[in-house]
Amino acid sequence: MAEQENSGYNAENIQVLEGMEAVRKRPAMYIGDTGERGYHHLVYEVVDNSIDEALAGYCSSIDVVINPDGSLTVQDDGRGIPVDMHPTQHKPAIEVVLTVLHAGGKFDGSNYKVSGGLHGVGVSCVNALSEWMKVEVKRDGKLHHIEFSRGHVTKPLEVVGKCGDETGTRVTFFPDHEIFSCHAFKWEILCARLRELAFLNKGVTIHFRDDEGDAHHEETFHYDGGIDEFVGYLNQNKRPISPVIHFEGEKQGLTGMVQAEVSMQYTESYSTLEQTYCNNIHTIEGGTHLSGFRRALTATIKKYGLDNKLLKDKEFESLTGDDMREGLTVVVSVKVPQPQFEGQTKTKLGNGEVDGIVAGIVSDKLMTFFEENPAAAKVVIEKTRLAAAAREAARAARESTRRKGVMDGLSLPGKLRDCSERDPARTELFLVEGDSAGGSACKGRDRATQAILPLRGKVLNVEKARIDRVLANNEIRSLITAIGCGFGEEWDVSKVRYHKIVIMTDADVDGAHIRTLLLTFFYRKMPELIEKGYVYLAQPPLYKVERKKKSEYVLTDEMLTEKLLSLGLDDCEVNGKDGAPMDPERAAAFLKLLAEIEATAKMVSERGFSPAALVADDSARGSGASMLRKLFSSLAGYGYAPADWFGAGTAAGADGPLAKLLDEVRARGRQGLTVVRFKGLGEMDAAELYETTMNPEKRRILRVKLEDAVKADQMFSLLMGDEVEPRRRFIEDNALTVRNLDF
């Protein structure tokens, strides 16, 4: 770190030092964690300052760029961070904002800060946790510049140019890799959050670009319709049965003005999606804004239904809030001057008065909406009635089975081969497709800790069935009893019987389908299992490779090719375009590229296109064309043209010198090897299945994570729901990126 010019430490300097050191010593206390989440949280902290400027009416456009060196820039056209001398700290205000904890707010205290990241720690924390940070401010006609390293000034504030009447702030930072275990910004993660921020703050334009690597993504988010457009976006794969209904208002709360905004729409779906926010923070655990909304919704539907004789008294008695929310998508966004966040992850809004404020806004205006749109009201109430009836039927069925002792865990499903260990933290449940694989799994397993539940036939698609049908399905009943947590109103995650629930299906299309059906079930009906990290996917190998009586298992096609190429390269050299032998690493990378070209070209031609023609045609669009173009531009880096791969014959197969080279190396790799492809789990004997897929010492299993709830809801609606057209489009757009398809 550079010496500071001023060597005499005063009280303020010590405050800065202690503040910055405190953040660096316990980063997790300030930003949650030092993994992927915390790394991206840095960006949100900086962007939140720009959003604040936008909320205050001074900023309309925010640019976010992932730079080629891995740093990130946030630029806005707000007022610019003040650069004049701070009245008490005897240094430029900008230095105070960036080095003193909680100094991000406005000094005069006139306008409260409602934004602020989840931890609301401000941009000074980002500075403390950055290897370097550079800030440029356009203000008062001048361009100002200041630099920091790990929270300390390395280049004091100076004027470096003019800016006319432009204003704004530009912050560039490189997170300290000594502190974080995550070392790169992910496009998808930032995209989801920036899109969300644009929905929540209507009219703001957020422009996002990725200049790192070859990716070059770019997207602009701007929604004049705000959260109404958000609801439309959330429902894009569902069939709406009402228009988007919008309510907003503001009311004096205990600590200042509370603003509330609600957008909702009913769809044909059987699931509910409630996205709630306070000061732009996603309140995953809900809170008083959500409870206020739910209370008002329930009361209003009941009152309207009774007043208009759409509900009989008896039906009225039994309706629950859940029934009235079936198929509902709602976004609730409130701005609260001094929010209290509670709950395990501090994402539950605690301010009591918000409940009443939201309820008040919703009940008045929802009643008006129903009165003005009786047809829509009728559809909603009919759906509510059907949901209640299905729930009642399911409860009756559950009670009758409970009398027979099926659902309470006393009597486990007959097909379950349970383990002897009783501590759930040590046990695993394998959900296995088919009886024959189930048999092998039973024979091979570790009886102490591994239980097997064979599943016969297809699991019900819960996306398209109401609760009564879900609970009538035998496979699903077995699952519920084996897992032990109950279902619906009686759900209790603490009763889970296994901390690892492993989906083990064949590596073919049917297996993928069953896996998706099971994941749909867990995501929609037992999401807490996924949140707690109890759900896993087994990774059975695709191949067995035998060499000199020694056998080895290979998980994927890519790994098999890699293996053959590496064996093949063991005893030969590859010459480059210039005729000189390549060094082994470069040769390996080169052949890997050729293998990728081969696989992609194969998929393209299987779908009726000519890969050579696509490459030759600059105007060709679609994922196939763009993947091939990217691969051939890498090939150009080695000095080769597409013709070196395709050869003379273009339409059918490639026969250029590079295609022959790939074949030759692979053939050498194959010498002395036997490669067996497993079609299904059933083809492995018990010992093989255990060794490759179940043995905790050797297997690889994937934990199912829920990274982005919005995306997950959309994907399950898309893949498993009723709307055919968006699904067809999705499959068409993504067909080329799907590997391991086996028909």
Task: Please give the positions annotated as active site.
Answer: 433, 506, 508, 510
Rule CB under 6 A: say whether 127 interacts with ligand 0RA.
Answer: no
Tokens, residue 465: 């069935």
User: Looking at this protein, which amino acid is placed at residue 226?
Assistant: G
Write out the binding residues for ligand 0RA, residues 167-206 only, by CB under 6 A: 169, 171
Among residues 82, 240, 286, 424, the one that binds ligand 0RA under rule CB under 6 A: 82
Identify which range of 71-79, 288-296, 404-412, 439-447 contacts ligand 0RA by CB under 6 A: 71-79
* DSSP reduced 3-state for 649: coil
Angle 477-482-487 from CA coordinates, rounded to 5°: 55
Least distance from C-beta 37 to ligand 0RA, angstroms? 22
- CB of 462 closer than 8 Å to CB of 521: yes
Fill in the DSSP letter of residue 575: B
106/607 with CB nearer ligand 0RA: 106
Amino acid at 633: S
Alpha carbon of residue 45 to chain centroid: 19
Q: How far is the CB of 114 from ligand 0RA (least distance, A)?
A: 14
DSSP states along 509-531: HHHHHHHHHHHHHHHHH-HHHHH
**Whether 648 contacts 657, CB under 8 Å:** no
Residues 230-249 that bind ligand 0RA (CB under 6 A): none
Displacement of CA 368 from its chain's centroid (Å): 37
102 binds ligand 0RA (CB under 6 A): no
- Residues 4-43, one symbol each (x = binds ligand 0RA by CB under 6 A, - = not), give ----------------------------------------
Minimum distance, C-beta of residue 257 to ligand 0RA, in the bound complex (Å): 20
**Closer to ligand 0RA by Cβ: residue 108 or 585:** 108
Q: Does 115 bind ligand 0RA (CB under 6 A)?
A: no
The window from 75-83, 425-433, 567-575, 606-614 that contacts ligand 0RA (CB under 6 A) reads 75-83
Closest CA to 4 of 151, 144, 142, 126: 151
Total residues contacting ligand 0RA by CB under 6 A comes to 13
Q: Which is nearer to ligand 0RA, 49 or 714 (CB)?
A: 49
Task: Let me know how long the chain is.
Answer: 743
Which of 16, 43, 72, 97 touches ligand 0RA (CB under 6 A)? 97
Instruction: Count Cβ atoms below 10 Å from residue 502 Cβ, excluding itself.
Output: 23
DSSP E strands, 176-241: 205-210, 218-221
Q: Which of 90, 102, 106, 739 binds ligand 0RA (CB under 6 A)?
A: 106
Q: How far is CA 560 from CA 345, 563, 564, 629, 666, in A?
A: 43, 5, 6, 25, 10
Strands 543-547 and 673-677: antiparallel
**Judged by CB under 6 A, does residue 49 bind ligand 0RA?**
yes
- Residue 49 CB, nearest distance to ligand 0RA (Å)? 3
Do 167 and 161 contact (CB within 8 A), yes or no?
no
Name the residue nearer to ligand 0RA (CB basis): 49 or 237: 49
Q: Note whether 53 binds ligand 0RA by CB under 6 A.
A: yes
- Residue number of the CB closest to ligand 0RA reads 49
In this complex, which beta carbon is closest to ligand 0RA, that of residue 100 or of residue 514? 100
Among 34, 50, 172, 363, binds ligand 0RA (CB under 6 A): 50
CA–CA distance, 583 with 603 (Å, rounded to integer)? 31
Tell which residue, 387, 415, 421, has the closest CA to residue 477: 415
In whole angstroms, give the CA distance from residue 83 to residue 140.
Answer: 9
Rounded to a whole number of angstroms, the minimum distance from the CB of residue 113 to ligand 0RA is 9
Residues at the contact surface with ligand 0RA, assessed by CB under 6 A: 49-50, 53, 76, 78-79, 81-82, 97, 106, 123, 169, 171
